[in-house]
Amino acid sequence: MYKILVVDDSALMRRVICDIINADSDFRVVDVSADGEDAYNKIKNNPYDLVVLDMVLPKLQGVDLLAKLYNEKIPFNAVLVSSILKEDTESTIRALEYGALDFVVKPIRSGSDTRDVFGRQLVTALHNATKQSSFRQISARRSTSDATKAIEESRRSTLERMENVKKSLQATKSGSSIAQTSSTPARPAAPTPVERKPATAPPPAPVASPGGDKKPPVKPVGTGVRTKKIIALACSTGGPQALHTFVPMLPATLSVPLVLVQHMPEGFTASLAARLDQISAVNVKEAENGEYFKPGWVYITPGGKHMEICEDGSHAAYCHLDDSPPVNSLKPCADVMYRSLSKSSFDEIICVVLTGMGADGSEGIKYLNQYKKTYVISQEASTCVVYGMPKAVEQGGLSNEVAPLKSVANSIVKRL
């Protein structure tokens, strides 16, 4: 069972989160905190497996707490609870850079339906966090230290007991009438190791296209430029951290546009794009409906929308944001993006699949291969936070190249 610290300044929210977590047999809340400074001291001195952390806290904000732990090399596993306010989404993106494993969106309204959705998302995030390669075995590591302390305490108590026996014998030999009795302190038990159930990933759902009554693609604004190639990238769990490594390695002279799907809720992709734009040579933005794709730009699909790549009469590509229902419970869905490219006029499509849970992207690329020339790069397993999406691509025989994260940008440049 995983031991959890819940950090939130609202007593009501702490109670709600604790009830949700304790209802799952794999997790148990063992401590709570109402401010960042108290949480820092508790994390520093206690072996929590996971920290559920609100981003807005008194004394020390959530992102500042993680920055302090990160800079002091204090190990932690954090799942964030964030609102969709702009300042909170920006802090959440920064917190992911400091090593937070995942985040869930705090409900705006109180109600049983809203709480149920939030509860499912939180428990899913906690389970996903424990399956990540970057999940630290904190309890196991610290319990070794605790066991060492227990042995030392036992050794001291044994020495004290022997000293008492020695004094009692000396008193008996000297004919003392005062009986010396020795007390035997209880031997402190070494902590039992935390039991972990084997992680089991849910089977991938069948691929589908967006359903419902779709509106026709909006007419693009302005004039577009036709490029012979395009880069289409997909990522999920661990994606923000991977993008913070990958995107800054792209050259400013990138001759084609890059479109990408990162599984994120609505409101967070704009902050992700803004942060990546600050640290990269290429331009990065959240994609807008009807805008043309320009060479040297990276376009992130907005959370809560599907992206389809369309073309005008001159075969210049532009963005169509589709508000159809989720596909395989995903919105945005990478399969939708890849399938839309099957109708394009690109000479070649460079498909890139980075870290992520599940198999999104693989069926879309498989479909795309029937109609277009593709070159598929998947992230190498040891550099993935979760080797799910790249694994599905590689095991499906779709990868032309398997590259570690820090080599993906160079692989793209070489292909171009």
Task: Say how far apart CA 213 and CA 224 lie, in whole Å.
Answer: 28
Match 């399956």 to its residue by tokens.
131
Helix, strand, coil percent content, the chain, rounded in steps of 5: 40, 20, 40
In this structure, how many other beta carbons lie within 10 angstroms of the beta carbon of residue 358? Answer: 23
* Whether the Cβ atoms of residue 24 and residue 17 lie closer than 8 Å to each other: no
Active-site residue (options: 82, 139, 143, 236): 236
Could you tell me whether strands 306-311 and 317-322 are parallel, antiparallel, or unpaired per DSSP bridges? antiparallel
Q: Closest Cα partner for 341 from 367, 313, 362, 322?
A: 367
Q: Exposed, middle or buried by CB within 10 Å (0-12, 13-18, 19+), for 235?
A: buried
H helical segments located in 249-342: 269-279, 334-340
- What stretches of 232-384 show up as alpha helix (H) in DSSP? 239-246, 269-279, 334-340, 362-369
Shortest CA distance to 256 belongs to which of 309, 310, 293? Answer: 293
* DSSP per-residue string spanning 42-92: HHHHS--SEEEEESS-SSS-HHHHHHHHHHTT----EEEEE-SSHHHHHHH
Tell me which of 360, 378, 407, 411 is the catalytic residue.
Answer: 360
DSSP-based three-state secondary structure for 318: strand
**Identity of the residue numbered 251:** P
Give yes or no: 236 in active site. yes
- Among 49, 54, 143, 263, the active-site one is 263
Locus of tokens 């009692």: 168
Token pair for 44 = 């520093």
Candidates 61, 60, 51, 255; CA nearest to 138 is 51
Helix (H, G, I), strand (E, B) or coil at 170: helix
Q: Which of 16, 307, 18 is nearest to 3 (CA)?
A: 18
Give the integer Cα–Cα distance in Å for 53 and 81: 6
| CB contact set of 179 (below 8 Å; sequence gap of 6+) | 168, 171
Find where tokens 């970057």 sit.
Answer: 134
Beta carbons within 8 Å of 196's beta carbon, 6+ residues apart? 2, 130
Give catalytic residues, as residue numbers: 236, 263, 360
